[in-house]
Structure 1
């Protein structure tokens, strides 16, 4: 057992573990939705991870503890200058700074990519996530019925 947390870029060989993580995490919080996850094959996920690793605008980082993915974040291109940020941490690992480590890694990566702005959407009734994003310089740009659109420069 490694019993050490590692934050790193996801690779194609993470596909099975990543799908297993997303299946677990999607059952642990009302803030996470992964529709049709059971329809994604390991091969499809491997292909997706390969394409992401070749992109200048998209990236996925994973938090690995004891050879298990316990968190992930992604940056996904939304326009020529903007990528959208998303993050999930397994419930058993909340309050261990994993979300901060992942967010810091993603922002650092974005600084060296051709991205000008990072955006995200967060539920208004998720104050822990809102605090995390504000800590990293995200500002609310739009308020919707149930969510906030927050952005920061890359």
Structure 2
């Protein structure tokens, strides 16, 4: 028996330029940012200047976004995970992206309309931690399937 069994999603929609990035315009970008800012822990990502590396490469400056402080998870993936969760729930309830805030989407009223929800993923990386964090913050269940041999947490 193989250790990994791979199967393709026969209903998968092939990616196009439109499906890849066409739907994310200025308005939706503002909605995403507003949603993330509605988390009490949200803070803009600091830029860190890499002076030694810039000097070594003969550049005037290099700056990188430091995501190591993002919600205490050391990764940016929680932003996408939280937004995707909010969009799925909002879509099921007919809530506009304009109205997505932590309070609006994950209120007791919304949870009572949805019933019990459990978020599920299969990963041994930051995405699993992001999904568990999102579920905990929003009062949802979470299951993270990890592959055999994954490094312990």
TM-score, normalized by the shorter chain, greater than 0.5? no
TM-score normalised by structure 2 residue count: 0.32
Higher helix share: 2
Looking at CA atoms only, which structure, 1 or 2, has the larger radius of gyration?
2
What TM-score results when the alignment is normalised by the length of structure 1?
A: 0.32
- The answer to which structure has the higher strand fraction is 1
